[in-house]
Structures are given as C-alpha cells and as structure tokens.
Chains A and B, each alone.
Chain A
C-alpha cells in the first residue's frame, strides 16, 4: 500500500496561473479532504468529499475547485493563483465510520509569485 500519494512536493507559480494538485489513495477510503497550513493558523479545511461524486466546501474554499470522479482520486485545482495561496497543502483520507485516523499525504509547498 502506498497510502496517500500527493504530487508535486514543491511548486512555484506565477500570479494568475492555474494548476492541479494531485491526490490519490489506495486504501479504499470514503473520506478525502484538502487542507492548507499557514504559520500560526494550523491546518484549515479547503474542500472535502464523503465519496465519489460528492464534494463540499470547507472553511477556506475560495479560489479552489475539487471533483471526485473515483474513490481513489481527489485533485485540487487552483483556478487563478494568487500570492495569498502561498501555503503548504495536505491531502488526507480516512474510513467511514470516523473512529479511525486520517492518513495524510506528504504535503505540497506552493509558492505564488
């Protein structure tokens, strides 16, 4: 099992560019989510999914899109990158019911210049 695979690990974007952060899990987890980590603010939820075809917004969804066409994949799209989106991004997955832990990808450090 690879667990949660997140790519790329590092990315530099210019303001206005778009890109997709990839996230894949091979544990057949129903729940998947995206977080961003900023200094002094912990991890904040961007979008999440409870299963294929079902997504919902988290705390900080503006500027990001997601889709979940399969159980395994949950990509995060930045539509038009802004310097405020400079952050470390984490994808996570977990089983339903929720007593289990969330498994995290290795994170993507994104810099928007």
Chain B
C-alpha cells in the first residue's frame, strides 16, 4: 500500500530562521507526484510546492524548496527566512500518476516565534 509519513507532529522556528519539515513515502510506482500543502487556521488548503518524480532537480518556490531523494523515498520541505504568516499545518501528499487520488501524511504543525 502507498503511504506517506510525517514524523514531526509539531515544529517551531524563530522568525527569519530556516526550518525543514520531513516527509517519507512508500510506493512501488516509478511515476508519481509529490506536493506540500499548507493549511492555515482558515482551513483552506494551499499548494506550497510540487515535485514530479521524473525530475531530478529539486523544486523551488521563492522561500520554499524541497529536498527530493527518490531512492530514499524522502521529500522534505525547507522554509527559509520564516515569517509569522508561515505558521500553519503542513501536509505532505503523494499522487500516483494517472489518478486524481492524493495520499496525505499526518501533518506537521509549524509554529513561528517572533
């Protein structure tokens, strides 16, 4: 079965510092997609960053970047220059190719301290 594991239920970071959220997944597929979603207290699910498994280059979106290790099945999210608005729950998600199904991790609550 395909699974996604986020082993850090809670993390905290000082404003302007860098934090890394961990995610591992299990699959026998070779073609798939990985996502990080942010869920602020408003409950809205917001896409932070995506990674196609066939791309070796790590995705980057402004202050957000990933470390994608396909062989290790690891997909961590790095947030640089953390801001108060980054405080939220973050979900790692896996999506098999040719399906709309997402498999989510348990989530990591990020606290940003001023």
Question: A-side interface residues toward B, CB under 8 Å?
Answer: 30-33, 35, 40-45, 48, 50, 58, 88, 90, 92-94, 96-99, 101-102, 104, 106-107, 109
Contacts and interface: CB of A to CB of B under 8 A. Distances in A.
Interface of B: 4, 6, 9, 33, 35, 43-45, 47, 50, 52, 91, 93, 95-107
Contacts of A107: 43-45
Contacts of A33: 100-102
Interface-central residue, A92, A94, A96, A101, by most chain B CB under 10 Å? A101
Given A40-B107, A102-B47, 8 more contacts: A42-B105, A42-B106, A42-B107, A44-B104, A92-B100, A101-B35, A102-B95, A107-B45
21 contacts: A30-B100, A33-B100, A33-B102, A41-B106, A42-B107, A43-B91, A43-B104, A44-B104, A45-B102, A93-B100, A96-B98, A98-B96, A98-B98, A98-B99, A99-B33, A99-B52, A101-B47, A102-B95, A106-B43, A106-B44, A107-B45
